[in-house]
Amino acid sequence: MIVAVASDHAGFTAKEIIVKEAKRLGHEVLDLGTNDCSSVDYPDYALKAAELVASGKAQRGILACGSGIGMCIVANKVKGARASIAHDVYSAAQGIEHNDMNILCIGGKVVDHKLTPQLVEAFLNASFLKGEERFERRSSKIKAIESANFK
């Protein structure tokens, strides 16, 4: 799987852990920066990753900033991006299984760095529960809302 990964300065340390874990799991990583802890604007990095995921050039994305909130807000402005914050293993997997999430947002100042690899693994190993009527129905409704809002 191709995974687009990006962070701002506050998520840089988490991003380095994310990249390492995704590669360890055998995924191709598109590291979109930032490349150090110098202050940058998170929207620039979130947008790059969300556009790659929405276009299909990457199958998943993982974003990190201080809280995860800013990256999540920006990513969800891109049609086809379905981003959410997850600061626990259950939510990182369940977001894909039930909600067809394709971008995970992590708070680099919120999540213990020992937990970050577990979030990455849960997110990248999960699959949307296709064939489950209730999840398919709900996913279709989300996509219909998105289409109506992006005309």
113 is an active site residue = no
Structural contact between residues 109 and 66, judged by C-beta atoms closer than 8 angstroms: yes
Angstrom distances, CA of residue 111 to CA of 64, 66, 67, 85, 139: 10, 9, 9, 11, 28
Of 76, 107, 75, whose CA–CA distance to 91 is shortest? Answer: 107
Catalytic residue among 9, 27, 65, 105: 65
Question: Partners of 63 in the beta sheet?
Answer: 6, 105
Angle, in degrees to the nearest 10, between helices 116-125 and 89-97: 20
The strand pair at 103-107 and 60-65 is best described as: parallel
Confirm whether 72 is a catalytic residue: no
Amino acid at 63: L
Q: List the catalytic residues.
A: 65, 98
